[in-house]
Structure 1
Amino acid sequence: MAHPTSADNRVPPGQTVTTGFPVLHHGSVPYYNDMSKWDLRIFGLVEEEVRFTYDEFMKLPRAEFRNDIHCVTTWSKLDNIWEGVAVETVMQRVKLKPEAKFVMLHAEHGWTTNLPIEDFLRPTTFFGLKHNGEILTPEHGYPVRMVVPHLYFWKSAKWLRGIEFMDKDKPGFWERNGYHMYGDPWKEQRFDFD
């Protein structure tokens, strides 16, 4: 789909544009005192589990990403500029098993969300480290959040700690609590009955 050129056709139905960056999450915000204890695990249907330490992840090549984001709670934020790590860069270290079809993102406090593997591997999906020139705050997912801009923003897991490859789709935290399994903002897939 071509990138829309005006705000009118960049905002999905039922959304309102904000210039702020609202903070919404379940549970408490993790604050890290010792980054040597942080890691990112890639596991499940992989030939060999991969683990990045904080230092290893921060040394990965970075790129700039520009996008609009849409929250299920009806706000949209346009023209975001991110610095992050492309999924392709991380996946160079991972050998998937052929039956891997879905991804479960694991975050702090046991929080999870699910994605089809095609959505995880899209070139527009990335690991966000900075937003509009600033390192992510703890409230917005420091040190690493997934950014999946074509889906509602709850799919962009904050405080990412694990990526699990699966053969079958399973609901994550919000999906178990009534949110849609996929979450396409253009189809207003907010809840499981949408």
Structure 2
Amino acid sequence: MAHIDLGVDESRSPGIQGLLQYRPETAKPLMELAEVLLRGPHTLSPGERELIAAYVSGLNECTYCAGSHSAFAAAQLPEGARLVEEVRANPATAALSGKMRALLAVAEAVRRDGRDVTTELVTAARTEGATDLEIHDTVLIAAAFSMFNRYVDGLATLAPDDPAAYQHGVHRIVTSGYLSRPAG
């Protein structure tokens, strides 16, 4: 049960969903940010950007965000859930491009402390072909998801244990994005 009364049935609106319903004034800019970062025009695919969000959320031990963004990434990556699981377990051994591996190293550093992003990490990403926009947005995705993770966990929202529960919003996110409203 969440630390505050969200005024919703948490079993039907777990994680961030209940928080967004509780405070629509803050929901709007948060979901606009998610839409731009994860689905807007970009050289990284939506699946790759969701993978960064899932990886950071897993490192932050945010069950709800890691579960939902892992499902969203898996649905949008040709390698599906296998790759997401490999990355979450160990990106160094996952079947990734050098560029994605380097960007995940940047994301991991941001998640620990933004000051941990070193010139060496940025140079390694560039060497692997990452553009300045990709580096910028990786840092912003990692920072934003660290904030989203703390928002969800800081108010102790419901995080289902069943991985199948995270499949619920996949179709909506993949087809309509973060600015669409959940059914019900």
**TM-score over 0.5 for the alignment?**
no
* Higher RCO (C-alpha 8 Å, min separation 6): 2
Give the TM-score normalised by structure 2. Answer: 0.26
- Identify, as 1 or 2, the structure richer in helix: 2
Give the TM-score normalised by structure 1. Answer: 0.25
